[in-house]
Amino acid sequence: MSYQPNDRGYYGQFGGAFIPEMLYPNVEELREQYLTIMADPEFQREFQSLLRDYVGRPTPLFYAKRLSEKYNTKVYLKREDLCHTGAHKINNTVGQILLARRLGKKRIIAETGAGQHGVATATVCALMGMECIVYMGKIDTERQRPNVERMRLLGAEVRPVTSGSQTLKDATNEAIRDWISNPVDTHYIIGSVVGPHPYPDLVARLQSVISEEMRKQLLEKTGSELPNYVVACVGGGSNAAGAFYHFLDEPSVQLVAVEAAGHGIDSGHSAATSVLGKPGIIHGSRTLLMQDEHGQITEPYSLSAGLDYPGVGPLHAHLAVSGRARFISIDDEAALYAVAELSRLEGIIPALETAHALAALAQLGAGPDDVVVVNLSGRGDKDLETYLKYAEKLNSYASNSASN
Amino acid sequence: MQNRIAQTFAKKQNRLLNIYFTAGYPTLDATVPLLETLAASGADLIEIGMPFSDPLADGPVIQQSSTVALQNGMNLYVLFEQLKDIRQRVPETPILLMGYLNPVLQFGIEKFCEQAAAAGADGLILPDMPLVEYEEEYKEIFQRYGLQPVFLITPQTAPERIRRMDALTDSFLYLVSGPGTTGGGTTQDSGTQEAYFKRVAEMGLRNPRLIGFGIGDKKSFDRACEYANGAIIGSALIRSLEGATDAPAAAKAFVSSVLN
């Protein structure tokens, strides 16, 4: 089975480009050019040099000794939280800004949920001296305030979105509308492996540096390029796509995608798309989508602003339906527990999104000799306000996890 | 037999007014009275919007009307039930259903086309339906039920793509006036816009053309009619229905203000 998209952007039954005609020329221009531009040695030289000297790659692969003891398996953390701006998101924005420049674009727009992609976009726009507008759900601007201020400091204009659920889905709608209104000079830097073809493939390729490095580092540290498990959280799924990419055709590697269950799968307040979703169309691609029986897109919920998206990337929908990846749902409580646990056991405060992936360790069933790589997609600084809100709970979890 | 859309354009070549309204707005039961009133007031074609939670090509006015319609309980089952006797009330005016692909696919594309045709619809406007998917997957189904697709053209649409759309329908081509979503003014200067309208007009297309997006009053309607067979108005009508105690009366007054 192939895990690469066909020429129309389909991964099995998922993908495609379901866009209004107003976006067709933009998306078509990108589709025609992205592979050629990315294959250009000059692009690669510039991209690799920025990844190394600006982003800080390769990121370490850290053997988490105390976490390993706790789960009686060998846990390695791929430290994307050590990337410049604090998350894996910058791998993609560095690549796309170079692409945008080669396409002759002058203005950059982006959507953001947790703010990590917005910050990463604002950062590369500052670096390249390009105009930057970031759409963010009003609710997200409130729960991720430090990132809003960071974007402004970097010179980006943050536009709070008040339509719909005022979160990531609506921010994406508004960004698309902006692109419809500015079809010539604007490039839309989508932050995840979602959207019309070629975005899912483009973003997956730009993030694939994560699994490329994992293979080299695993060989060095364990004597084998292949782990038994790769675990990553999934909202749209860009960090998971990057972590899975170079293992997709290695059937011995179990790929584990972790979704946000929110208050619980059946609570009506969840973002576990692989369980609750049905095939449908959102933001330009056919994928698994949370919707009601009339095809209206329903509001997802997760405590983490980066995971409450009602769809997943079409690659992930394909991985879910084909069984290539195992999907696990983690609720808010378990994620908060994992925040406390990693902080206390390893001295690393993870992002709330990433904590979902960490919480899945308890459910993997990995043995003492198994090698598990968790993609530590981002750091928790941006979530400090949320963590302060749950300080009492986190402290009791922390002493609990440290004493076990 | 010619479809109602083609018949309408055969009878009248210019100043055709196509009015859009959202089904189930401002009240759930407003759909049929509005349809009858619009037809009686001089609308040459009528587009019924099938509300969707995330209407990407639409601006805030139509999105808001869709949100209200969904809250009112509008869905495709209700809409088809409301429309079942419509051809006895509105025998000639072409009716087009406008909406997004996801609700249609959830309903089932074949079942949707069957019921749309049974309800008296003549055409479908689905802005996020890709041309290639239409040709390969949906065309045969549309044709089986006598439904005409309407394709959108923008200033950036390449001529060969316009010709391909022209070949795929017997209705009209929807000229999006400039960059932007429905209900907004366009950022394009009038000279660029005029050049685009003329460029398409001079292509000698099979189908007539209607200009939409940003048309909202007599002045913009008259101007659009200089470059095409007519125009499409949506958001401005919806705005006139906001808070109206008698929606059909408000719609009648609105159409009259555009035509007279």
* Nearest chain B residue (CA) to A281: B102
Per-residue confidence (pLDDT) for residue B190, from 0 to 100: 79
CATH of residue A189 = 3.40.50.1100
Q: Is residue A8 part of a domain?
A: no
CB contacts < 8 Å between A and B, how many? 104
| CA–CA separation, A384 and A358 (whole Å) | 18
Q: What is the mean pLDDT of chain A?
A: 96
Per-residue confidence (pLDDT) for residue A397, from 0 to 100: 84
**Contact B218/B177 with Cβ under 8 angstroms?**
no
Domain span including residue A46: 20-52+89-203
* Omega prior to A198 cis, within 30 of 0: yes
Per-residue confidence (pLDDT) for residue B196, from 0 to 100: 95
According to DSSP, the residues that pair with B22 across neighbouring strands are B49
Which one of A25, A183, A280 has the shortest CB-CB distance to B102? A280
Q: One of B44, B47, B122, B166 is an active-site residue; which one?
A: B47
B contacts of A22 (beta carbons < 8 Å)? 57, 152, 154, 156, 176, 179
| CA–CA separation, B7 and B18 (whole Å) | 15
Whether A18 sits inside 8 A of B57 (CB atoms) is no
Residue carrying structure tokens 């037999």: B1
What spatial distance separates the first Cα and last Cα of chain A, rounded to whole Å? 43
For every residue of A111-168, DSSP letters joined together read EESSSHHHHHHHHHHHHHT-EEEEEEEHHHHHHTHHHHHHHHHTTPEEEEE-STTSSH
**Contact B178/B214 with Cβ under 8 angstroms?**
yes
Is the pLDDT score of A273 beyond 70? yes
Is the pLDDT score of A331 beyond 70? yes
Stronger pLDDT, B41 or A382, i.e. the higher one: B41
Whether A163 and A42 map to the same domain: the answer is: yes
Q: Are strands A186-188 and A371-376 parallel, antiparallel or unpaired?
A: unpaired
Spatial CA neighbour of A111 closest among A283, A285, A298: A283
Is the pLDDT score of B33 beyond 80? yes
The residues of A whose Cβ lies within 8 A of any Cβ of B are 8, 16-22, 24-25, 163-164, 169, 173, 176-177, 180-184, 278-284, 289, 291, 293-297
Over range A336-356, report the average pLDDT: 97
Q: What distance lies between CA A308 and its chain's CA centroid?
A: 12
Whether A157 and A223 map to the same domain: the answer is: no
Which one of B76, B130, B156 has the shortest CB-CB distance to A25? B156
Q: Among residues A145, A171, A203, which one ends one of the domains?
A: A203
Burial string for B66-86 (b: 16+ CB within 10 Å, else e) reads bbbbbebebbbebbbebbeeb
Which one of A279, A291, A296 has the shortest CB-CB distance to B70? A296
* Omega prior to B26 cis, within 30 of 0: yes
Q: Is residue A6 part of a domain?
A: no
Spatial CA neighbour of B129 closest among A195, A318, A16, A298: A16
Q: How confident is the model at residue A398 (pLDDT cuts 50, 70, 90)?
A: confident
pLDDT, tens digit (0-9, with 9 covering 90-100), for A157-175: 999 999 888 888 999 999 9
Q: Is residue A1 part of a domain?
A: no
Q: One of A111, A174, A213, A353 is an active-site residue; which one?
A: A111
A contacts of B104 (beta carbons < 8 Å)? 295
| CA–CA separation, A101 and A316 (whole Å) | 29
B contacts of A16 (beta carbons < 8 Å)? 130, 133
Whether A172 and A257 map to the same domain: the answer is: no
According to DSSP, the residues that pair with B32 across neighbouring strands are none
The minimum CA-CA distance between B10 and chain A, rounded to whole Å, is 27
Is the pLDDT score of A86 beyond 60? yes
Structural domain total, chain A: 2
A contacts of B161 (beta carbons < 8 Å)? 24
The minimum CA-CA distance between B46 and chain A, rounded to whole Å, is 21
pLDDT, tens digit (0-9, with 9 covering 90-100), for A16-48: 999 999 999 999 999 999 999 999 999 999 999
pLDDT, tens digit (0-9, with 9 covering 90-100), for A280-292: 999 999 999 999 9
| CA–CA separation, B112 and B109 (whole Å) | 5
Per-residue confidence (pLDDT) for residue B234, from 0 to 100: 97
Whether A286 and A398 map to the same domain: the answer is: yes
CA dihedral A19, A20, A26, A30 (to 10 degrees): 20
Over range A293-316, report the average pLDDT: 94
Q: Is residue A256 part of a domain?
A: yes
The minimum CA-CA distance between A291 and chain B, rounded to whole Å, is 9
CA dihedral B159, B184, A176, B173 (to 10 degrees): -30
Which one of A16, A19, A297 has the shortest CB-CB distance to B54? A297
Whether A20 sits inside 8 A of B153 (CB atoms) is no
Whether A257 and A167 map to the same domain: the answer is: no
Whether A281 sits inside 8 A of B105 (CB atoms) is yes
What spatial distance separates the first Cα and last Cα of chain B, rounded to whole Å? 33
A208 catalytic? Reply is no
Q: Among residues A180, A203, A226, which one ends one of the domains?
A: A203
Instruction: Tell me the three state secondary structure of residue A272.
Output: coil
Q: Is residue A72 part of a domain?
A: yes
Whether A276 and A131 map to the same domain: the answer is: no
- Which residue type, as a one-letter code, is found at position A106? K
| CA–CA separation, A285 and A312 (whole Å) | 10
Per-residue confidence (pLDDT) for residue A116, from 0 to 100: 94
pLDDT, tens digit (0-9, with 9 covering 90-100), for B156-191: 999 999 999 999 999 999 999 988 888 876 556 778
ipTM: 0.95
Whether B54 sits inside 8 A of A282 (CB atoms) is yes
Q: 10 Å Cβ neighbour count for A187?
A: 24
pLDDT, tens digit (0-9, with 9 covering 90-100), for B111-168: 999 999 999 999 999 999 999 999 999 999 999 999 999 999 999 999 999 999 999 9
Whether B56 sits inside 8 A of A24 (CB atoms) is no
Residues 6+ away with beta carbon under 8 Å from A154:
A119, A122, A123, A125, A126, A132
According to DSSP, the residues that pair with B249 across neighbouring strands are none
A contacts of B128 (beta carbons < 8 Å)? 18-20, 281, 284
Which one of B76, B128, B157 has the shortest CB-CB distance to A19? B128
- Is the pTM higher than 0.90? The answer reads yes
* Nearest chain A residue (CA) to B51: A296
Q: What percent of chain A has pLDDT over 70?
A: 99
Spatial CA neighbour of A314 closest among A6, A7, A28, A11: A11
Q: What percent of chain B has pLDDT over 70?
A: 98
| CA–CA separation, A158 and A118 (whole Å) | 9
Token pair in block for residue A388 = 């302060």
Question: DSSP code of A57?
Answer: P
Q: One of B44, B58, B122, B166 is an active-site residue; which one?
A: B58
Per-residue confidence (pLDDT) for residue A404, from 0 to 100: 54
Per-residue confidence (pLDDT) for residue B186, from 0 to 100: 56
Per-residue confidence (pLDDT) for residue A402, from 0 to 100: 64
B contacts of A281 (beta carbons < 8 Å)? 100-102, 105, 128
Whether A296 and A309 map to the same domain: the answer is: yes
The minimum CA-CA distance between B200 and chain A, rounded to whole Å, is 16
Exposed, middle or buried, B11 (CB in 10 Å: 0-12/13-18/19+)?
exposed
Per-residue confidence (pLDDT) for residue A352, from 0 to 100: 96
Whether A291 sits inside 8 A of B102 (CB atoms) is yes
The minimum CA-CA distance between B135 and chain A, rounded to whole Å, is 14
Spatial CA neighbour of A332 closest among A251, A382, A386, A254: A386
pLDDT, tens digit (0-9, with 9 covering 90-100), for A175-225: 999 999 998 999 999 999 999 999 999 999 999 999 999 999 999 999 999
Spatial CA neighbour of A189 closest among A173, A171, A203, A208: A203
A221 catalytic? Reply is no
A111 catalytic? Reply is yes
Question: B14-259 maps to which CATH number?
Answer: 3.20.20.70
Whether A315 and A385 map to the same domain: the answer is: yes
| CA–CA separation, B67 and A394 (whole Å) | 39
Identify the residue among A294, A297, A298, A299 best suited for mutation to test binding to B, counting B beta carbons within 10 A and taking the highest.
Answer: A294
Exposed, middle or buried, B14 (CB in 10 Å: 0-12/13-18/19+)?
exposed
Domain boundaries, chain B: 14-259
| CA–CA separation, A79 and A83 (whole Å) | 8
Is the pLDDT score of A403 beyond 70? no
Which one of A183, A281, A283 has the shortest CB-CB distance to B101? A281
| CA–CA separation, B160 and A320 (whole Å) | 39
A contacts of B181 (beta carbons < 8 Å)? 177, 180-181
Whether B152 sits inside 8 A of A25 (CB atoms) is no
Exposed, middle or buried, A72 (CB in 10 Å: 0-12/13-18/19+)?
exposed
Whether A181 sits inside 8 A of B101 (CB atoms) is no
**Contact B27/B243 with Cβ under 8 angstroms?**
no
Identify the residue among A135, A170, A177 best suited for mutation to test binding to B, counting B beta carbons within 10 A and taking the highest.
Answer: A177
Q: Among residues A149, A183, A203, which one ends one of the domains?
A: A203
Over range A312-333, report the average pLDDT: 98
Whether A189 and A212 map to the same domain: the answer is: no
Per-residue confidence (pLDDT) for residue B1, from 0 to 100: 58
Whether A177 sits inside 8 A of B181 (CB atoms) is yes
Whether A175 and A220 map to the same domain: the answer is: no
Q: Is residue A12 part of a domain?
A: no
Q: What is the mean pLDDT of chain B?
A: 95
pLDDT, tens digit (0-9, with 9 covering 90-100), for B55-114: 999 999 999 999 999 999 999 999 999 999 999 999 999 999 999 999 999 999 999 999
Whether A235 and A356 map to the same domain: the answer is: yes
Which one of A8, A20, A293 has the shortest CB-CB distance to B128? A20
Q: Is residue A13 part of a domain?
A: no
pLDDT, tens digit (0-9, with 9 covering 90-100), for A213-265: 999 999 999 999 999 999 999 999 999 999 999 999 999 999 999 999 999 99
Whether A320 and A260 map to the same domain: the answer is: yes
Q: One of A68, A377, A382, A401 is an active-site residue; which one?
A: A377
